[in-house]
Amino acid sequence: MTQHDGAYFPRDRNWHPKLLTPDYKTSVLRSPQKPLISFGNSLSETTGPVFGHNDLGELDSDLIQNYARSGESALGERIIVHGRVLDESGRPVPQVLIEVWQANAGGRYRHKKDGYLAPLDPNFGGCGRALSDDNGYYAFRTIKPGPYPWPNGVNDWRPAHIHFSLFGSGFAQRLITQMYFEGDPHIALCPIVNTIKDPQAIDMLTAKLDMNNTIPMNARAYRFDLVLRGRRSTLFENRLEGN
Amino acid sequence: MTKLAYLKESPSQTAGPYVHIGCTPNVIGNDGIYPQDLGAAMITGPAKGEQITFAGRIFDGTGTVLRDAMVEIWQADAQGIYNSPAETRGAADPNFTGFGRQAVDMESGAFTFETLKPGRVPFPDGRLQAPHINIWIVARGINLGLNTRAYFSDEETANADDPVLARIEHKHRIQTLIAQKERNTYTLDIYLQGERETVFFDI
Ligand SMILES: [Fe+2]
């Protein structure tokens, strides 16, 4: 069997947002100006922390219940967010720790720095995590977050979104991104979304309504697949010359 | 022309100002969801090696300290072995995770990791790298996590032979990666821009 244990494929930094994106104003003073230094992966990049089921609690992937008082649940549109984590070669990535955070149904975060006038939901923390299985599959249950205003232009609103953080098998795969919802008119208007130039890349971050996996009379499903960096095969790299 | 059937990596988006909610909820008082924050303790028992504190702050282009960043570090144990299934050279110290995660202090902007001085890890060509800590920084205004490294001021000989530091053409910039030792604390301030801009890596 081919060993995919070589270096990670280089990151396509034209596909990702650039670091300096003036329409997202905070990036102007927080973006390195000098060229990044490139080098081939060593074990420092191909290894990484890996987590297991012992690190997770029973309700970690259920944001409707994991902060709720007994007998109560979070307010909002009940949804299931699910999908697969693949690498760039299309292979499932198992045991990926996926952490999510989000605003409540009114667009308010449970965070001392968030002063938006929409109220907190006493039953919603906005934080969850899950581990992908052997097929790369993961699922969360939550409520659909609300859009919220933010100080950038005079009237900028974030589309409804869920923040995602992923640990692959190597530290070089570490990724934080955001998930948007199909059909949201704020996607096209958002300066943070538009730090990404390729419409196909934005589409990758847009979860699709999945009626087949919607639970009747209970919760709608949104499908959201994620892709982490792939690794080169070392078939020839480990073969000595002349053998 | 037929395209090769590769997928594209999911594009990155900023972690935003509320990264704590998902990554370090206990730090902002959102307790009761996770018993403790991931990466809060790196040394989990009687680990071998020299215990050190690794500390620093992160500055923007005006010299203002970032108070909303999250820093993750990843490093080898004292023998130079990573505590990872992808490690190919043996088992790491079971009392050391090698992974640390901290939200910087919301007042001072400081990060402070209690960790071990790492051993040396080989480069793919077999040369030994100098002891180093791998660093990943995310924050509001950072569209794609920033990778850098900390090396150690008391490892001058190893640093001089390090294959990654050797890739840095402008030699005076190497200094931006050297954590300065004072007793058992190594301090590295990170500058996102300006004359002292830290060297960041495309790994
Ligand atoms: Fe957000």
pLDDT in tens, B144-199: 999 999 999 999 999 999 999 999 999 999 999 999 999 999 999 999 999 999 99
Residue A21 pLDDT more than 80?
A: yes
Give me the number of domains chain A comprises: 1
Encoded tokens for B189 = 């301030």
Is the pTM for the entire model greater than 0.95?
yes
- For the beta carbon of residue B4, count every other beta carbon within 10 angstroms: 5
Within the 90-119 window of chain B, which residues sit less than 8 Å (CB to CB) from chain A? 97-99, 106
Domain boundaries, chain B: 19-191
Q: Per the CB < 8 Å rule, is A11 touching B138?
A: no
pLDDT in tens, B10-68: 999 999 999 999 999 999 999 999 999 999 999 999 999 999 999 999 999 999 999 99
Does residue A1 lie within any of the structural domains? no
Encoded tokens for B81 = 């072995």
Q: Per the CB < 8 Å rule, is B9 touching A15?
A: yes
- For the beta carbon of residue A3, count every other beta carbon within 10 angstroms: 12
Instruction: Give A45's pLDDT tier (boundaries 50, 70, 90).
Output: very high
Does residue A21 lie within any of the structural domains? yes
Within 13 Å, how many C-alpha atoms sit on residue B118's CB side? 30
What average pLDDT is seen over chain B? 97
Q: Per the CB < 8 Å rule, is B193 touching A32?
A: yes
Contact A74, A123 (CB under 8 A): yes
CA distance, residue B124 to nearest chain A CA (Å): 6
Residue A242 pLDDT more than 80?
A: no
Contact residues on chain B for A40, CB-CB shorter than 8 A = 124
**Position of tokens 């990170």?**
B190
Does residue A241 lie within any of the structural domains? no
Q: Is A163 a catalytic residue?
A: yes
Phi, psi of A232 (to 5 degrees): -70, 150
Does residue A218 lie within any of the structural domains? yes
Residue B201 pLDDT more than 50?
A: yes
User: Residue A234: what pLDDT?
Assistant: 76
* Inter-CA distances, A161 with A4, A27, A68, A193, B11, Å: 33, 20, 21, 10, 15
Measured distance CA(B144)–CA(A192) in Å, rounded:
12
**Residue A24 structural domain:** 14-30+43-227
pLDDT in tens, A193-228: 999 999 999 999 999 999 999 999 999 999 999 999
A5 touches chain B (CB under 8 A): yes
* Bridge pairing between strands B133-138 and B146-152: antiparallel
User: Residue A1: what pLDDT?
Assistant: 44
Does residue A38 lie within any of the structural domains? no
Instruction: Give B9's pLDDT tier (boundaries 50, 70, 90).
Output: very high
ipTM above 0.95, yes or no: yes
Which residue, among A47, A53, A133, has the nearest Cα to A93 in the 3D structure? Answer: A133
CATH number for B19-191 (one of 3.90.1150.10, 2.60.40.3680, 2.40.30.30, 2.60.130.10): it is 2.60.130.10
Q: Per the CB < 8 Å rule, is B83 touching A49?
A: yes
Contact residues on chain A for B84, CB-CB shorter than 8 A = 47-50, 169
Q: What percent of chain A has pLDDT over 70?
A: 95
A169 touches chain B (CB under 8 A): yes
User: Residue A241: what pLDDT?
Assistant: 63
User: Residue A2: what pLDDT?
Assistant: 55
- DSSP element (H, E) containing B158: helix B156-160
Does residue A233 lie within any of the structural domains? no
CATH code, domain with A217: 2.60.130.10
Q: Is A148 a catalytic residue?
A: yes
Does residue A115 lie within any of the structural domains? yes
Does residue A36 lie within any of the structural domains? no
Among A8, A109, A138, A180, which one carries the catalytic annotation? A109
Residue A243 pLDDT more than 60?
A: no
Encoded tokens for B8 = 């594209």
Radius of gyration of the CA atoms of chain A, in A? 20
Measured distance CA(A191)–CA(A108) in Å, rounded:
19
